[in-house]
Structure 1
Amino acid sequence: MPNSPSAKKALRKSQKRRLVNRSNRSALRTNLKKARVAVEGQPSEAADDVKTAMRHLDISAGRGLIHKNKAARLKSRLAKKLNAALTES
């Protein structure tokens, strides 16, 4: 347990940030899953879901929630999947 006042405040802040980060990470994963399911189901109507997922990836990378290279990798894979599904159908 922290003893100094500054350590106590740091603990309070880190606990609050953990909850915010957990919520944001969960929302990001939900958006990614929704986009992947849309691409597999109805690729012609999946563009909006993919665009939303990519936007959330950029926001998460900007906030430091995930690494920027991971965001770029996930965006690339999502776009690749969408393009393959659109050319296939």
Structure 2
Amino acid sequence: MKFEQTNPKETDYMANTPQAKKRARQNEARFQVNKARRSRIRTFLRKAEEAIASGEKDAATAALRALQPELMRGVSKGVFHKNTAARKMSRLSSRVKAIA
């Protein structure tokens, strides 16, 4: 008989106590919510980047205005750090201003 060796660090953590089981469920639920929120913010970022690349100032300004509340919502929900959001907004707004 051949036994398959498994590394204990590679196996999934299995909670033992009821509290640990509940935390595992909560962590998974929060992960899914945060993943969706992060994806949504990245979509808005991509749209802003594309609008800036197109060179249309009106479209870029509109995309930036749509992005700003989404980014700040991500900060308040803990998906992004405050300084990260500020840095992204600052760099994008300076690029929008640079469009002739």
Provide the TM-score with structure 2 as the length reference: 0.82
Aligned residues: 86
Q: From 31, 48, 66, give the equivalent of 1:35.
A: 48
In structure 2, the gaps of 5 or more residues are 1-13
Shift of 1:37: 0.6
Tell me the amino acid that sits aligned with residue 47 of structure 2.
K
Report the structure, 1 or 2, having the larger helix content. 1
Shift of 1:36: 1.1
| Residues in 1 aligned to 2:71 and 2:77: alpha-carbon distance in whole angstroms | 10
What's the RMSD between the two structures over aligned residues? Answer: 0.8
Provide the TM-score with structure 1 as the length reference: 0.92
Q: From 17, 20, 34, give the equivalent of 1:21.
A: 34
| Residues in 2 aligned to 1:44 and 1:63: alpha-carbon distance in whole angstroms | 30
Does 45-54 or 74-83 show the bigger shift?
45-54
